[in-house]
Amino acid sequence: MLETLTQYETEIWQAIAETFVMVGVSILAAVIIGLPVGTLLFLCRKGNLLENQFVFSIVNLLVNIIRSFPFLLLVVFLIPFTRLMIGTAIGTAAATVPLSIIAIAHYSRLVEQSLLDVPKGVIEAAISMGASVKDVVFKFIYVEARSGLVLGLTTSIISFISYSTIMGVVGGGGIGDFAIRYGYQQFKTDLMMYVIIIMIILVQLIQFIGTSIARIIDKR
Amino acid sequence: MLKLNRVTKNYAEFQAVKSVSLKINQGEIYGIIGASGAGKSTLLRIMNLLEVPDEGEVEVNGQTLTSMSGKQLRQARKSIGMIFQHFNLVANKTVYENVVVALELADFPKNERRNRVLECLQFVGLESMMDKYPAQLSGGQKQRVAIARALATNPQVLLCDEPTSALDPGTTADILGVLENINKSLGVTIVVVSHEMEVIKSICHTVTIMSDGEIYDTVSCKPKGMQRKENHPQYFVEELTKDVELDHA
Ligand SMILES: Nc1ncnc2c1ncn2[C@@H]1O[C@H](COP(=O)(O)OP(=O)(O)O)[C@@H](O)[C@H]1O
Ligand SMILES: [Mg+2]
């Protein structure tokens, strides 16, 4: 095993680095944009603080549309947009665009669901104390929903890893692309197996960390 | 000090509160009793505009809440405390954090917050539980934390929606004792909604009976001072004698 791996050491490290960039940017997009979008969905829902049928319907539809694309088609569909954003549609940087879009849609939905679990009474108590919407969100809702938010992000990160494996089609590279090019197309089945093992370990590790953090911060 | 002027609340076709007017005096413990679904909670929640009435005015501490901007209303709510049947504490905050958040919202001076929280927790007898989470407390203790939270900003009124309905009789008596103490020693006006006659009888100075979204009657009553001995074993004997014939074993 070690022999095959050392033979391809540079390529493997390169692929791992590409995966980290793609998944890392996806996580950032999920947290920086997906979290607010999910919160907006929650707040605009009927009966909630900023109830707004119009905004809710539009954002909800957008999230659904993005999520219903087969991911490969989304990548192709977004090529003009990607070119606009990055200047090129090829390469690891370009690959982060469709990944970020799906990351935002994916995580915002999970955020919305976690926030829906916050007891209505807690929100009422906050309002009765004179909290503004911003205070209700940051001092109450996020605090109460925090373990759900972490678990959702964990699930999302694992999906992002999976999505990132097909970015080879636009030259995004990454560990999935490596497994296909060297392992599958050059008939090095053992190499493909090792990559799969690496990915299994990675996913296990992420799930373990996510679940542990969620458990520690959950005082309910 | 608290006035409702012909407030009405509709849920679609259904009228939960029908043109109700009432007046609550400074320093009073005002009870609202009635069957389930009578509109008691809705009426109470109208008092801090948690429910916005479709018609009518709400006046608290001389301010008309119903004609305020969002910001003014948030400000006014800081002098109207509220506690709930299910306590509504933030489960992921410690006892201390649950209380201090009320002070943060009210822009209470930073360096005085800690002392104020301790003061409020002492008042409800929970200063030793400061670092515990709500899940580690009993129902009665949770309600005490909720009371401390509601009192932190020195409100003039405390609204209580079924404050003891999730508690056992002994704990109910304790909590009612705390409410009475708040009224007596801090002069806070208290409005209590309950469907339990015992609760209303034991602490209220004025009682309004609600039925089908309307006020059926309002009466004033003087407690006879025999109620809150519930923790004394003799209380159980007396309670039993009321309804059954006793034969000492
Ligand atoms: N958000 C709501 N939507 C529709 N109906 C409601 C809502 N809140 C209360 N009601 C109805 O209004 C009536 C009065 O409710 P409530 O004030 O909670 O009664 P009580 O506290 O006296 O038991 C009930 O029939 C209830 O079903
Ligand atoms: Mg009720």
- Give chain A's domain count: 1
Domain B1-73+187-249: what homologous superfamily?
A: P-loop containing nucleotide triphosphate hydrolases (3.40.50.300)
**Domain ranges (residues) in chain B:** 1-73+187-249
Say how far apart CA B18 and CA B23 lie, in whole Å. 16
AA identity, residue A50: L
Single pTM value for the model: 0.90
pLDDT digit string, tens, across residues B115-128: 999 999 999 999 99
pLDDT digit string, tens, across residues B35-54: 999 999 999 999 999 999 99
Q: Which domain holds residue A102?
A: 2-217
- The ligand with the least distance to the CA atom of B38 is 1
- Mind giving me the DSSP string for B61-79? TTEEGGG--HHHHHHHHTT
Nearest CA to ligand 1 atom 1: B11
pLDDT value of residue A99: 96
pLDDT value of residue A185: 84
Ligand 1: nearest atom to the Cα of B42 = 17
ipTM of the complex: 0.89
Residues of chain A with C-beta less than 8 angstroms from the C-beta of B82: 125, 128-129
pLDDT value of residue B120: 96
pLDDT value of residue B230: 61
pLDDT value of residue B228: 53
Query: Within a 10 A sphere around the Cβ of B81, how many other Cβ atoms?
Result: 27
Instruction: Inform me whether the C-beta atom of residue B105 falls under 8 Å from chain A C-beta atoms.
Output: yes
AA identity, residue B21: S
Q: Find out whether the beta carbon of B45 lies less than 6 Å from any atom of ligand 1.
A: no
Q: How many helices (H) and strands (E) does chain B have?
A: 8, 10
Number of CB pairs < 8 Å for A and B? 73
Q: Domain with A40 in it: what CATH number?
A: 1.10.3720.10
pLDDT value of residue B225: 52
Nearest CA to ligand 1 atom 17: B39
Cβ of B90 and A140 within 8 Å? yes
AA identity, residue A139: K
pLDDT band at A5, cuts 50/70/90? confident
Q: Which of B21, B12, B153, B166 is nearest to B85 (CA)?
A: B166
pLDDT band at B224, cuts 50/70/90? low
CA-atom Rg of chain B in angstroms: 19
> Span A94-102, mean pLDDT?
96
Q: Say yes or no to pLDDT of A40 above 60.
A: yes
Q: Find out whether the beta carbon of B20 lies less than 6 Å from any atom of ligand 1.
A: no
pLDDT digit string, tens, across residues B150-171: 999 999 999 999 999 999 988 9
pLDDT digit string, tens, across residues B54-93: 999 999 999 999 999 999 999 999 999 999 999 999 999 9
